[in-house]
């Protein structure tokens, strides 16, 4: 479960994919293909995938124990095999991706 709190000692990785609206669901499906492997990666905490209402973006919100854990996942052979379809989708220009690391600085809830 995602824990969004400035007290949580976690690293958030946000991956923003830009895609043609006709390809949005295919991109989401390709991301999901790697889920069984992703959930077994050391340091993995959670993943939430968001689709834009206009169909032009997909955002992945992933939480890790550390940036080192995420980098190890990116280099993992089994993870690379599980995400080969996604990487091909990106490499052929059907999606553009930006990945950034974050920490939570504050949260706000209704009073």
Looking at the domain assignment, is residue 1 inside a domain? Answer: no
Looking at the domain assignment, is residue 73 inside a domain? Answer: yes
| HSE-CB of 40 using CA atoms within 13 angstroms | 8
Could you give the angle at the alpha carbon of 13 between the alpha carbons of 19 and 81, nearest 5°? 70
SS3 61: strand
With bands split at pLDDT 50, 70 and 90, how would you rate the model's confidence at 100? Answer: very high
Whether 27 contacts 35, CB under 8 Å: no
Look up tokens 């919100």; give the residue.
61
At residue 2, the pLDDT reads 85
Looking at the domain assignment, is residue 2 inside a domain? Answer: no
- Rounded to whole angstroms, the Cα distance separating 13 from 61 reads 6
Does pLDDT of 1 surpass 90? no
Q: What is the mean pLDDT of residues 67-88?
A: 97
69 exposure class (CB count in 10 Å sphere: 0-12, 13-18, 19+)? middle
Give the number of domains in the chain. 1
Q: At 13, list the tokens.
A: 């990785």
Residue 102: what are its φ and ψ, rounded to 5°?
Answer: -140, 160
Domain that holds residue 29: 11-102
For the domain that residue 53 is a member of, what is the CATH number?
Answer: 3.30.70.100
Does pLDDT of 84 surpass 90? yes
| Between residues 38 and 1, the one the model is more confident about | 38
């Amino acid at each position: 479960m995602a824990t969004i709190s400035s007290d949580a000692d976690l690293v958030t990785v946000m991956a923003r994919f830009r895609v043609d609206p006709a390809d949005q669901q295919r991109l989401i499906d390709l991301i999901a293909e790697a889920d069984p492997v992703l959930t077994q990666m050391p340091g993995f905490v959670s993943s939430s995938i968001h689709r834009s209402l206009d169909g032009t973006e997909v955002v992945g919100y992933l939480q890790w124990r550390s940036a080192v854990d995420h980098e190890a996942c990116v280099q993992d052979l089994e993870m690379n095999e599980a995400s080969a379809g996604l990487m091909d989708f990106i490499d052929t220009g059907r999606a553009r991706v930006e990945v950034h690391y974050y920490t939570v600085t504050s949260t706000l809830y209704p009073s």
